[in-house]
Amino acid sequence: MTTASAPIWDGLLLGASLATLAGAQGYGEVADGALGWRDGVLTYVGPRAALPDAPPRLAREVIETDGGWVTPGLVDCHTHLVFAGERAREFELRLQGASYEEIARAGGGILSTVRAVRAADEDALLRQSLPRAQALLADGATTLEIKSGYGLDYENERKMLRVARRIGVELGIGVRTTCLAAHALPPEYAGRADAYVDAAIEWLPRLHAEGLVDAVDAFCEGIGFSPAQTRRLFGAARALGLPVKLHADQLSDLGGAALAAEFGGLSADHVEHTCDAGVRAMAARGTVAVLLPGAFHVLRETKLPPLDAFRAHGVAMAVATDCNPGTSPLLSLRQAMQLACTHFRLTPEEALRGATVHAARALGLADRGALRVGARADFVLWDIGHPAELGYWLGGRLARAVYAGGRKRA
């Protein structure tokens, strides 16, 4: 509990219980709590009874609630939500027995979205993508990571990253952009994967110079890019001072998690096939395991990530939507939390920490993910009786109000 140094706060929320997540374990519960903020930063987190003065003298706006819970704003640390078109037909094909790899090799999958993205101008791409971000925000997500990877040439990758930045400005939320040029091999580079990686490496400094890249990612997989190609791309990222993330070990174990850890990666994502050596490498470098239960669910996978090994070695586990048109058309991070509890048997507390504390860490963000003085004033007021309900309910609207930077956004 810390009192504010300034006599006037911008806002003060009273009457709800707080799940601060400030400690290493537990929800960090504060009954009949108070949350104060100024200039977009939390200035008071604690019991109402310990406020240093009468509420009207502390804040310009005092918000009285009739119960509920406040948590940190959710952080969706892995999305592909900037895209054009949809791929519902592929969903039908998978239900009829076609595999993800069969669809991709037949010209579907990522490349079908590439064609749609290339055909859309920047404004059209924003119009199609913005509602998806709004849906995530309405269900509590105040920070989004958004990847490129459906352009696969310089101008269209740049277009995607520009749209991602515009979404953050439009909605007033945090957006972190990740360059995923090494997502798939475009048709014009068929049979020339090394040459395409060379091209992507050449684009990276220009995109970074425009302020469009916060991190670099790759799809390291048999139908994607090899560990050697990924290593070259990550070397270029490191030369620019950019952190890396990796789509690792989703369909097979190519040592992707260990490769991400070798480069001090923020995260290794998917990780269903990660071996014990990969887990140990992640633990040694502090690389976060990002669990993506939406794709696991839609693809009807059965190979679980090494969850017990992550726990045993102290690897932080984040949870994200993987919102994308082909394998995870998921527009609720809270629903991803529920799927993580159901499929991966995370506890509700683990799922909530995965979508807040650990997700922020997976983006290299130390200023959010928990309710504490000095953190960004990103928080959600939920109509629930206990935080476990966030991993319990299937669907429905539970968020009463969503604040980002101290301003109500949904």
SS3 73: coil
406 is in an annotated binding site: no
Amino acid at 271: V
Alpha-carbon distances of 347 from 137, 169, 194, 341, rounded to whole Å: 23, 34, 43, 6
List Cβ neighbours of 54 (8 Å cut-off, separation of 6 or more).
none
Concatenating the DSSP letter of every residue in 349-397 gives HHHHHHTTHHHHHHTT--SSSS--TTSB--EEEE--SSGGGGGT--SS-
Burial (CB count <10 Å: 0-12, 13-18, 19+), residue 300: exposed
CB atoms within 10 A of CB 123: 10
250 is in an annotated binding site: yes
Q: Report CA torsion sign: 153, 267, 295, 339.
A: negative
Burial (CB count <10 Å: 0-12, 13-18, 19+), residue 85: middle
150 is in an annotated binding site: yes
- C-alpha angle with apex 161: 155 to 167, nearest 5 degrees? 135
27 is in an annotated binding site: no
The secondary structure element, H or E, covering residue 232 is: helix 227-239
183 is in an annotated binding site: yes
343 is in an annotated binding site: no
Concatenating the DSSP letter of every residue in 201-223 gives HHHHHHHHHTT--SEEEEEESTT
342 is in an annotated binding site: no
List Cβ neighbours of 121 (8 Å cut-off, separation of 6 or more).
159
> Residue 265 is encoded by which pair of tokens?
């990666």
Concatenating the DSSP letter of every residue in 84-138 gives -S--HHHHHHHHTT--HHHHHHTT-THHHHHHHHHHS-HHHHHHHHHHHHHHHHH
87 is in an annotated binding site: yes
Radius of gyration in angstroms for the set of CA atoms belonging to the chain, rounded to a whole number = 21
78 is in an annotated binding site: yes
Annotated binding site for 4-imidazolone-5-propanoate: 87, 150, 183, 250, 327
Annotated binding site for N-formimidoyl-L-glutamate: 150, 324, 326
Annotated binding site for Fe(3+): 78, 80, 247, 322
Annotated binding site: 78, 80, 87, 150, 183, 247, 250, 322, 324, 326-327
Annotated binding site for Zn(2+): 78, 80, 247, 322
